[in-house]
Amino acid sequence: MELDTKTPPYLTSDKSSFAYVSARDRWPVIITQAIDDLYRSVSECDSREKQDDGKKIIEELARLKYEVQHDRKLTPIKDDGGVDVAIYNSELEQLGTPSWFNIPWLYCECYLYRRLHTSFSLSTHWKNYDVFSRQKIKTFRSSRPAVLELAARYRDLVTQMGHDKGKADIDHDEAQKILFLEMCEICLWGNATDLSLLTSLTYEDIQKLQGSEARKASEKNILVNDLEAVYDVLRKAKHAGKKERRVDIVLDNAGFELYVDLILAGYLLSSGLATVVVLHPKSIPWFVSDVLPADFAALLSALADPKRFYETPSDDDKLQDKTPSPLSDKDVVDMSFLFQEWAHMHAEGQLIMRSNRFWTHPGSYWRLPSVEPDLYEDLKTSEVVIFKGDLNYRKLTGDAAWDPSTPFTEAIGPLGPNSGVNVLALRTCKADVVVGLKLGQDEEIRATEGGGGDSGARKWAWSGKWAVVSFSQGK
Ligand code: F6P
Ligand code: MG
């Protein structure tokens, strides 16, 4: 597309890329899991008509899996009334209607989820069914220890911040900054598959200006870290007495990641570093785990009644004859505190959800100013727009094969300097594209164990072990 970078995109045909691995190994599994989920829901439902409707979708998904595995040409998205159908189909035509293993990775992966959605939206009884919802809930339940631990810490911090309000000594400012860095890093690692990297933090530690050991340990895996510059922007806006100071979060995954996003949002609001936080979810089931508005509601209701959420045996528990251990009274109080805080912020209009179909378009964010000018104008009014996760980073950089030492500000094209948008990417690396590294840094990591060595593949960037936190000051 003419609006995109001229640097070539990653292709599913490139056998040394994660694009290829992803198309060959992951997509068939993802479609199979969707079929299994739907099969289960179909067999549980009473209405014959609804069952038959569901079976048709199962057949379509099976056909889609066949097409992927047999490298068939992509077919146009059927008209399901979506405003984006023409966008998907005209780009497919421009690409020359290629096959699954010979196509830009970004377009093709978005097409996969859009195509899945069409099967549901054209049905009668399953239009709003989220085929990934079970997986999202299951993962969130399994992160129970980290959820409880963070709830306890969040409650302590917010309570202490309330007591310390008005203190303006330098140590306090410095503590605030360290706390900001910690919160952002928790939010960052919430995007990793390996949650063990989560930092431990106590208010005493922060007041003594000591970052936690765990955070320090994981910090060496953050290859680019521009958080101090972001803190400066927010602090300056606060000190300038600006009345409305908005932070946006372009969300990634539901469950634990959304939970840590809300921890960050709640912290920004409680500390006065922001007065409004706008959350941007997806509008259709997306890349398995991405947040839909319903996931936000589900998270709040889990917090509202944590005993029901965590103590009711899941289907897996029942199969294994297991009963989840009960929550302590303190756990329940901590969770209720979070619920009250966030529900209050939501009700007061400080914590807002704002959907836009742009987030599930197939293209890069280089297209934003031209394709969705209203959204672009809206984002300009934010102090900082935080883009969470890997896919958002791929879209910001056009999922292109940049030299890894290319500055981030250059790789995000029209959203870079003078765009009017302050862009912060919080991303654990789960794909090939990476920018903003020092000269030779990519080669250095490639030479480490599992880094890819001489294979020609940037394997180190595929697993979520490494991260980049890149900021572009657009105004
Ligand atoms: O594993 C591959 C993949 O589907 C990538 O294509 C995608 O960028 C990533 O996973 C999703 O990760 P995230 O949820 O962090 O965007
Ligand atoms: Mg995601």
Averaged over 7-14, what is the pLDDT?
98
Atom of ligand 1 nearest to the CA of 290: 14
The pLDDT of residue 372 is above 50: yes
pLDDT category of residue 173 using cuts at 50, 70 and 90: confident
With CA atoms as reference, report the closest residue to 427 among 191, 183, 257. Answer: 191
70 located within any domain: yes
359 located within any domain: yes
> Lowest-confidence range among 35-49, 190-204, 318-332, 446-460?
190-204
> Lowest-confidence range among 102-106, 444-448, 460-464?
460-464
Q: Give the whole-angstrom CA distance, residue 326 versus residue 144.
A: 12
- Residue-wise pLDDT tens digits, 100-128: 999 999 999 999 999 999 999 999 999 99
Query: Looking at ligand 1, which residue's alpha carbon is closest to its atom 7?
Result: 391
Residues 374 and 421 grouped into a single domain:
yes
Averaged over 296-317, what is the pLDDT?
93
pLDDT category of residue 167 using cuts at 50, 70 and 90: low
In what side-by-side order are the strands of the sheet with 351-353?
Answer: 222-225, 467-472, 423-428, 384-388, 246-250, 276-280, 351-353
How many whole angstroms from 430 Cα to the centroid of ligand 1? 6
Atom of ligand 1 nearest to the CA of 394: 8
How many whole angstroms from 264 Cα to the centroid of ligand 1? 22
How many whole angstroms from 70 Cα to the centroid of ligand 1? 23
With CA atoms as reference, report the closest residue to 34 among 314, 286, 295. Answer: 286
Residues 79 and 121 grouped into a single domain:
yes
Q: What is the pLDDT of residue 214?
A: 55
Atom of ligand 1 nearest to the CA of 389: 15
Which residues lie with the beta carbon below 6 Å from any ligand 1 atom? 22, 26, 109, 191, 252-253, 287, 389-391, 394, 430-431
Residue 63's CATH number: 1.20.930.60
Instruction: Answer yes or no: are the C-beta atoms of 9 and 106 closer than 8 Å.
Output: yes
403 located within any domain: yes
- Shortest-distance ligand to the CA of residue 431: 1
Atom of ligand 1 nearest to the CA of 18: 2
pLDDT category of residue 216 using cuts at 50, 70 and 90: low
Residues 314 and 412 grouped into a single domain:
yes
Q: What is the pLDDT of residue 178?
A: 86
The pLDDT of residue 200 is above 60: no
Q: Is 83 helix (H, G, I), strand (E, B) or coil?
A: coil
Mutation test of ligand 1: which of 33, 390, 428 has the most ligand atoms closer than 8 Å to its C-beta?
A: 390
With CA atoms as reference, report the closest residue to 112 among 31, 25, 24, 29. Answer: 31
The pLDDT of residue 208 is above 60: no
Query: Looking at ligand 1, which residue's alpha carbon is closest to its atom 10?
Result: 430
Largest CA distance in the chain: 69
Write the single-letter amino acid at 84: D
- Residue 295 CB neighbour total at 10 angstroms: 24
pLDDT category of residue 423 using cuts at 50, 70 and 90: very high
Point out the domain boundary residue: 79, 111, 131: 131
DSSP state of 73: B
pLDDT category of residue 205 using cuts at 50, 70 and 90: very low
With CA atoms as reference, report the closest residue to 265 among 156, 345, 335, 326. Answer: 345
Lookup: tokens for 257: 């990641």
Query: Looking at ligand 1, which residue's alpha carbon is closest to its atom 13?
Result: 390
pLDDT category of residue 176 using cuts at 50, 70 and 90: confident
347 located within any domain: yes
Q: Is 323 helix (H, G, I), strand (E, B) or coil?
A: coil
Extended beta strands in 235-336, E state: 246-250, 276-280
Residues 109 and 138 grouped into a single domain:
no
Q: Which domain holds residue 387?
A: 134-472
Mutation test of ligand 1: which of 287, 392, 463 has the most ligand atoms closer than 8 Å to its C-beta?
A: 287
139 located within any domain: yes
Instruction: Answer yes or no: are the C-beta atoms of 353 and 334 closer than 8 Å.
Output: no
- Shortest-distance ligand to the CA of residue 392: 1
Mutation test of ligand 1: which of 112, 430, 432 has the most ligand atoms closer than 8 Å to its C-beta?
A: 430
What count of Cα atoms within 13 Å lies in the side-chain half-sphere of residue 293? Answer: 9
Residues 62 and 96 grouped into a single domain:
yes
Residues 24 and 114 grouped into a single domain:
yes
Averaged over 298-318, what is the pLDDT?
92
pLDDT category of residue 432 using cuts at 50, 70 and 90: very high
Residues 113 and 154 grouped into a single domain:
no
Q: What is the pLDDT of residue 346?
A: 96
- Domains identified in the chain, total number: 2
DSSP string, 183-240: HHHHHHHTTSS-GGG-----HHHHHTT---HHHHHHHTTEEEE-HHHHHHHHHHHHHT
**Angle of CA points 157, 159, 163, to nearest 5°:** 110
**CA distances (Å), 215 to each of 5, 65, 206, 310, in order?**
35, 41, 12, 28
- H helix or E strand, kind and range, residue 40: helix 27-44
Instruction: Answer yes or no: are the C-beta atoms of 351 and 265 closer than 8 Å.
Output: yes
Q: Give the whole-angstrom CA distance, residue 464 versus residue 183.
A: 18
pTM of the predicted protein model: 0.95
Share of the chain above pLDDT 90, in %: 80
Atom of ligand 1 nearest to the CA of 105: 6
Point out the domain boundary residue: 131, 156, 177: 131
3 located within any domain: no
Residues 95 and 176 grouped into a single domain:
no
How many whole angstroms from 167 Cα to the centroid of ligand 1? 42
Atom of ligand 1 nearest to the CA of 428: 15
183 located within any domain: yes
Residues 142 and 123 grouped into a single domain:
no
Cβ neighbors of 467 (< 8 A, separation 6 or more) are 188, 189, 191, 192, 221, 222, 223, 426, 427, 428, 429
Q: Is 249 helix (H, G, I), strand (E, B) or coil?
A: strand
Residues 146 and 176 grouped into a single domain:
yes
Q: Which residue has the higher pLDDT, 189 or 117?
A: 117
Extended beta strands in 126-245, E state: 222-225
6 located within any domain: no
Residues 291 and 365 grouped into a single domain:
yes
Residues 241 and 294 grouped into a single domain:
yes
- Shortest-distance ligand to the CA of residue 12: 1
Point out the domain boundary residue: 84, 116, 131: 131
Using only C-alpha atoms, the chain has a radius of gyration, in whole angstroms, of 22
The pLDDT of residue 140 is above 90: no
With CA atoms as reference, report the closest residue to 309 among 138, 85, 59, 193. Answer: 138
**Angle of CA points 407, 411, 414, to nearest 5°:** 120
With CA atoms as reference, report the closest residue to 112 among 311, 304, 286. Answer: 286
Atom of ligand 1 nearest to the CA of 289: 14
- H helix or E strand, kind and range, residue 219: helix 213-219
